[in-house]
């Protein structure tokens, strides 16, 4: 019997571990204990009229395994893929879902620091990270069929997903996915397991605003972009908030006292040159970014409130 295209794409791929967070709502659990360097989390929702996938992982090979994970849970067709943002580790597997029939829901602003050299350079760089074998069959598939810049409610098979842009907090194209009935929230990289999410593509104050939004929704379960699903969502939100507010206050006081950036960040361990998202690298790069934010504000260059 000839395979349907979706089956062909996931054929031979081993499923990832999945955890059912509510009936029909699954987290595809990535690495834990590796911060932003680990394989990200993804998720999917099974409805009577098809599947909605949240994030696509870091390569076509990982996308195929994600598809195999979905196939192990349901025969329903894959209808939608929602991307929480446009960093390669969250969408370079999208082509596998797209070939399986998914239409893409994403924020249309795909700009990131990593993509400043253009799409081809980013794909080449990323091949250096995940390897040529994992990238076989790669095509960009993160341009939205259904763009979201505010709030969009997707209804499918009796289920409801509220997809919204929380501001350019972690990156310009951030989206969060909220299942109001199940009270499950997919936060993308607004949250990572160690509380040190990157703001080099975003803005620390907008991230704090976004955290207030997450808290206000009072989720039962929150799925961070990377790492363990916290026992209590509010705890991870609070850890992230504490880190950011402390960093802001340290950098603000340095700027106000005329301390140059190099001295203000001197107490932090150096960034790991070959590991741009290691914990040390994230701490250091965030400190530089937040120093610049505070400097702009101090000099009155910042138009935002
Ligand atoms: Zn990210």
Give the 3-state DSSP-derived string for 235-274, with helices as H, strands as E and coil as C.
HHHHHHHHHHHHHHHHHHHHHHCCCCHHHHCCCCCCCCCC
For residues 82 and 177, give the distance between their C-alpha atoms in angstroms, rounded to a whole number. Answer: 8
Interval between CA 189 and ligand 1 midpoint (Å): 5
Interval between CA 17 and ligand 1 midpoint (Å): 21
pLDDT value of position 3: 43
**Is residue 220 over pLDDT 80?**
yes
Give the list of residues 6+ apart from residue 54 with CB closer than 8 angstroms, or none: 42, 43, 44, 45, 81, 82, 84, 177, 186, 223
Interval between CA 42 and ligand 1 midpoint (Å): 13
Of the chain, the end-to-end C-alpha distance in Å amounts to 62
pTM: 0.94
Interval between CA 89 and ligand 1 midpoint (Å): 7
**Is residue 49 over pLDDT 80?**
yes
Interval between CA 242 and ligand 1 midpoint (Å): 20
pLDDT value of position 4: 46
261-284 per-position pLDDT tens digit = 999 999 999 999 889 999 999 999
Give the pLDDT band of residue 175 (cuts 50, 70, 90): very high
For residues 11 and 71, give the distance between their C-alpha atoms in angstroms, rounded to a whole number. Answer: 10
- Helix (H) or strand (E) segment spanning residue 233: helix 233-256
For residues 90 and 83, give the distance between their C-alpha atoms in angstroms, rounded to a whole number. Answer: 7
Interval between CA 211 and ligand 1 midpoint (Å): 16
Interval between CA 112 and ligand 1 midpoint (Å): 9
Interval between CA 71 and ligand 1 midpoint (Å): 26
Interval between CA 170 and ligand 1 midpoint (Å): 7
Where is pLDDT greater, at 302 or 265?
A: 265
Give the pLDDT band of residue 304 (cuts 50, 70, 90): low
Torsion of CA 203, 206, 212, 215, to 10 degrees: -50
Interval between CA 2 and ligand 1 midpoint (Å): 38
- Going along the chain from its start, the domains and CATH numbers come out as 5-298 (3.60.15.10)
Collect residues with CB below 5 Å from ion ligand 1. Answer: 87, 189
Interval between CA 76 and ligand 1 midpoint (Å): 29
Mean per-residue pLDDT, 142-171 = 98
pLDDT value of position 9: 63
Where is pLDDT greater, at 6 or 132?
A: 132
Q: Is 267 exposed, middle or buried (0-12, 13-18, 19+ CB in 10 A)?
A: exposed
**Whole-number average pLDDT of the chain:** 94
Interval between CA 259 and ligand 1 midpoint (Å): 30
Mean per-residue pLDDT, 89-117 = 95
7-30 per-position pLDDT tens digit = 456 778 999 999 999 999 999 999
Interval between CA 192 and ligand 1 midpoint (Å): 9
Give me the helix-helix angle, 279-298 and 204-217, nearest 10°: 110
**Is residue 303 over pLDDT 70?**
no
Pairing of strands 146-147, 151-156: unpaired
pLDDT value of position 269: 92
Mean per-residue pLDDT, 120-140 = 96
**Is residue 119 over pLDDT 60?**
yes
Mean per-residue pLDDT, 36-43 = 96
**Is residue 148 over pLDDT 50?**
yes
Interval between CA 40 and ligand 1 midpoint (Å): 9
**Is residue 109 over pLDDT 50?**
yes
Interval between CA 49 and ligand 1 midpoint (Å): 30
**Is residue 177 over pLDDT 60?**
yes
Mean per-residue pLDDT, 130-149 = 97
68-89 per-position pLDDT tens digit = 999 999 999 999 999 999 999 9
Interval between CA 164 and ligand 1 midpoint (Å): 16
């Amino acid at each position: 019997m000839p395979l349907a295209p979706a089956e062909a794409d996931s054929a031979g791929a081993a499923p990832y571990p999945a955890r059912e967070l509510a009936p029909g709502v699954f987290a595809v659990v990535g690495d834990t204990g590796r911060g932003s360097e680990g394989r990200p989390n993804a998720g999917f929702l099974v409805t009577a009229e098809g599947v909605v996938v949240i994030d696509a992982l870091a390569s076509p090979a990982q996308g195929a395994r994600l598809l195999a994970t979905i196939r192990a849970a349901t025969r329903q067709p894959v209808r939608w893929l929602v991307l929480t943002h446009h960093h390669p580790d969250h969408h370079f597997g999208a082509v596998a879902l797209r070939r399986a029939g998914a239409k893409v829901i994403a924020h249309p602003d795909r700009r990131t620091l990593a993509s400043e050299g253009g799409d081809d350079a980013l794909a080449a760089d990323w091949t250096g990270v995940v390897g040529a074998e994992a990238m076989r069959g790669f095509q960009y598939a993160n341009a939205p069929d259904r763009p979201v810049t505010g709030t969009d409610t997707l209804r499918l098979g009796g289920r409801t997903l509220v997809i919204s842009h929380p501001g350019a907090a972690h990156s310009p194209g951030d989206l969060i996915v909220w299942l109001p009935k199940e009270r499950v929230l997919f936060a993308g990289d607004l949250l990572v397991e160690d509380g040190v999410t990157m703001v080099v593509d975003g803005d620390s104050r907008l991230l704090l605003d976004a955290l207030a939004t997450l808290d206000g929704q009072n989720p039962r379960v929150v799925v961070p972009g990377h790492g363990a699903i916290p026992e209590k969502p509010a705890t991870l939100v609070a850890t992230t908030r504490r880190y950011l507010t402390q960093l802001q206050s340290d950098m603000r006081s340095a700027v106000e006292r005329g301390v140059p950036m190099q001295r203000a960040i001197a107490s932090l361990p150096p960034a790991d040159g070959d590991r741009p998202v290691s914990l040390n690298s994230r701490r250091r790069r965030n400190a530089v970014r937040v120093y610049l934010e505070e400097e702009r504000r101090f000099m009155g260059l910042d138009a935002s409130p």
